[in-house]
Amino acid sequence: MCTDFTNVNKVCPKDCYPLPKGFFGRLPGINHQIFMAEEDLENTVFITEYGIYYWKVMAFDLNNVGATYQQMVNKVFSIQIGRNMKICVDDMLIKNRGAQEHDINLRESFENLRKYNLRLNLDKCMFGITSSKFLGYMIS
């Protein structure tokens, strides 16, 4: 579903929460899991031939979805970021030195996701890899 939020974004105050710089990632798929505030639902109304609808979760085209998403992942993974995880917007890389540490770090990540009732898109996840091409760079 594609919705044009141009007019909504014009009147929505910009959230200047800093987005990360870098290019790490391999655990994508947490997007479309941030629920909209009840008072903002009416701002996302759209009409189709089947009826009138609104977004219950933040849609990609909303002005502050990036900043809101970054605040959420920073909160969810605050104890891991910098220690065993790198995050660049919706891509995450879990760092480890071997299979045993890999399992421990993954378990910690899954526990944090479960704590906040978030799910990954398993079709986009990679586990147990030693290198990966990402944004044109080979990471190992």
What pLDDT is stored for residue 96 in this prediction? 84
What pLDDT is stored for residue 56 in this prediction? 93
* Domains defined along the chain, listed by start: 26-139 (3.30.70.270)
| Beta bridge pairs of residue 57 | 35
pTM for the whole structure:
0.69
Looking at residue 4, what DSSP letter applies?
A: -
What pLDDT is stored for residue 2 in this prediction? 67
Per-residue pLDDT band at 18 (split at 50, 70, 90) = low
User: Which is it for the CA torsion 75, 118, 97, 95, positive or negative?
Assistant: negative
Instruction: Write the burial class of residue 115 (CB in 10 Å: 0-12 exposed, 13-18 middle, 19+ buried).
Output: exposed
For 53-111, give the DSSP string.
E--SB--TTSTTHHHHHHHHHHHHTTTTBTTTEEEETTEEEE--SSHHHHHHHHHHHHH
Digit-coded pLDDT (tens) for 93-108: 888 888 889 999 999 9
User: Which amino acid would we find at residue 49?
Assistant: E
Digit-coded pLDDT (tens) for 31-45: 678 888 999 999 889
What pLDDT is stored for residue 39 in this prediction? 93
